A = this chain, B = another copy of it.
Amino acid sequence: MGNLITLTTDFGWSDGFAGILHGVILNIAPHACVVDISHGVEPQNVMQAALLLADSVSYFPRASIHVSVVDPGVGSSRKALAVAVGETIFVAPDNGVASLAIAQLQSLTGSAPHAFELDNPAYWLPRVSTTFHGRDIFAPCAAHLANGIALHELGTPVESFVTLATLAPERRADGALAGQVQYIDRFGNLITNIQAEQLAAFSSTGLLVEINGHTLHGIRRAYAEVPPGQLLALVSSSWRLEIAVRNGNAASAVGGKVGDPVVVRESEEAMGR
């Protein structure tokens, strides 16, 4: 088992919640290396955390323990889980927050996930609150895993767990591809659910991208290919269609928000009309 533990939460940084997770882990596993992926997930936004973690896990060592706590059901009957995929372990509530990353690693490694409910209180903190299982259950269990405790010591195998569905883009009768904005980053870049490979079906120069009444021509290689302030479409660092403004904020420029429709189609010219 690796000693690298990552954290992805909606706890923010200001209240000390994230720092306390570090403390709990280092108290149990002094040699763990704790890395914050993000504590800036929008409060209770399970899907945002799930997408973010799925885009991150392949860049970490396989033998990592990924703790992901966006947990609006804390204190209810929702299960606390640890899920192994090959050498990697995910520690998270059973609300799908780790499910996209689990699917991502399953597809990369070919390993099927094995899930356990974290129901052995011997590996929790002695006093468990009803509002902060990140501190009282998830972080301590991750720390014990980093210490080499076997997964099955932490609890009971479970047959299934909650898996989030991401919307795939639809191919329309006229050949256009209808997707949507899936994520908006710090720069205001609009990341869609359209995969880079799906763009190959279109002519590289005749392709049009439509969002909120704006039409962009072609896929650019880099932000610097257009003048500052101009909208462009390109392939994001997560290998999806991205709409950006060079040195600017595309979300502001087009009034973009998660869920907004994005259409890719051939121009009339490219279709020979």
B222, A130: Cβ atoms closer than 8 Å: yes
B38, A73: Cβ atoms closer than 8 Å: no
Cβ proximity bits A44-86 to B, threshold 8 Å, 1 near / 0 not: 1000000011011001110010000000111110100000000
- Write out the residue numbers on chain B whose beta carbons fall within 8 Å of the beta carbon of A40: 12-15
- Tell whether A33 is near chain B: CB-to-CB under 8 Å: yes
Cβ proximity bits A98-141 to B, threshold 8 Å, 1 near / 0 not: 00000000000000000000000000000001111001100000
Bound Cα distance from A36 to B12, whole angstroms: 13
Bound Cα distance from A200 to B78, whole angstroms: 27
> Which interface residue of A16, A131, A185, A246 has the most chain B CB atoms within 10 A?
A16
Taking the closest CB of chain B, its distance from the CB of A46, in whole angstroms, is 11
How many monomers of this protein are in the complex?
A: 3
- Write out the residue numbers on chain B whose beta carbons fall within 8 Å of the beta carbon of A13: 13, 36, 38-40
- Write out the residue numbers on chain B whose beta carbons fall within 8 Å of the beta carbon of A149: none
- Tell whether A234 is near chain B: CB-to-CB under 8 Å: yes
Closest to A185 in B: B15
Q: Which of B16, B60, B78, B225 contacts A55 (CB 8 A)?
A: B16
Q: Which of B16, B23, B56, B224 contacts A20 (CB 8 A)?
A: B56
Of the listed stretches A150-158, A172-180, A236-244, chain B binds A236-244
Q: Which of B12, B27, B34, B72 contacts A223 (CB 8 A)?
A: B72
Taking the closest CB of chain B, its distance from the CB of A12, in whole angstroms, is 4
**A interface residues, Cβ below 8 angstroms from B:** 4, 6, 8, 11-20, 22-24, 26-27, 30, 33-41, 43-44, 52-53, 55-56, 59-61, 64, 72-76, 78, 129-132, 135-136, 185-187, 221-225, 234-237, 239, 242, 246-247, 249
